[in-house]
């Protein structure tokens, strides 16, 4: 579990508040959506929908509070933030601002998709990669972005220490041949790449919110999401 040792998943108010916020913001939606693995998912999480200052600021607050919990529990330590292009760039910057507001002032960096051969040059922008580097992203779909981030950070002299994401879908990854792997993308990063992963919320939290809601329109999606988890879930 990406939150193991941090909180009781059945009583995690931060996670359930985040799910409700994502629903209100239209970032978390229900219907039929095709995933990268070719599955039809009954829900869709699009972090690009945190598209104004108020939403982005609130999102950064959720990340910062989860990171504070993880630090207090000894689940991770970090000296700086890294945001993989493209969504991670905005996330790392926003989270750095919120952490500084809370008294935790750390540098941040991000990467370009193509190296620059003029000005400061290179692929990384921002602070030099030094010490323990926390990767900030929205979700982990296949672990590709994490692997690329690890290579960039290590090449620049830093040490990848952990990954923070908004939502852990808790579903089986693709095995690369059209089948289902026995692990999730988050578990792959934890077990194969050796990095702890901290998520603000998980699919289990989404289901808990749906089961607890008094809104019939939301509650109507409970069974489809539960069925999807029974078919593709890993925990």
Active site residue ranges: 116, 118
End-to-end CA distance of the chain: 8
Q: Strand, coil or helix: what is 85?
A: coil
Cα four-point dihedral sign 34, 37, 41, 45: negative
Residue 155 has a CB neighbour count (10 Å cut-off) of 11
- Exposure string of 83-100, with b = 16+ CB inside 10 Å and e = fewer, is bbbebbbbbbbbbbebbe
Instruction: Classify burial at 50, counting beta carbons within 10 Å of its beta carbon; exposed 0-12, middle 13-18, buried 19 or more.
Output: buried
Q: Strand, coil or helix: what is 235?
A: coil
Pick from 160, 140, 141, 142: which is nearest to 150 by CA?
160
Tokens of 200: 């603000």
Tokens of 166: 């908004």
Contact in structure between 39 and 57 (CB atoms under 8 Å): no
The span from the CA of 2 to the CA of 12, in Å, is 13
Cα four-point dihedral sign 152, 156, 161, 166: negative
């Amino acid at each position: 579990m990406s939150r193991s040792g941090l909180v009781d998943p059945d009583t995690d108010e931060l996670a359930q508040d985040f799910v409700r916020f994502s629903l209100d913001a239209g970032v978390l939606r229900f219907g039929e959506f095709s995933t990268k693995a070719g599955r039809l998912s009954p829900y869709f999480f699009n972090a690009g929908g945190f598209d104004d200052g108020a939403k982005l600021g609130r999102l950064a607050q959720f990340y910062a509070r989860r990171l504070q919990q993880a630090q207090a529990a000894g689940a991770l330590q970090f000296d700086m933030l890294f945001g993989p292009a493209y969504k991670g760039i905005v996330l790392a910057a926003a989270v750095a601002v919120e952490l500084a507001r809370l008294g935790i002032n750390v540098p941040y960096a991000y990467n370009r998709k193509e190296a620059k051969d003029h000005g400061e040059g290179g692929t990384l922008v921002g602070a030099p990669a030094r010490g323990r580097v926390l990767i900030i992203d929205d979700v982990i779909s296949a672990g590709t972005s994490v692997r690329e981030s690890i290579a960039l950070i290590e090449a620049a002299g830093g040490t990848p220490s952990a990954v923070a994401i908004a939502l852990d879908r808790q579903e089986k990854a693709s095995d690369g041949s059209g089948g289902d792997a026995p692990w999730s993308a988050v578990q792959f990063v934890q077990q194969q790449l050796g990095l702890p992963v901290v998520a603000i919320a998980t699919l289990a939290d989404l289901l808990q919110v749906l089961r607890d809601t008094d809104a019939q329109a939301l509650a109507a999606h409970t069974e489809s999401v539960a069925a999807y988890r029974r078919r593709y879930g890993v925990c």
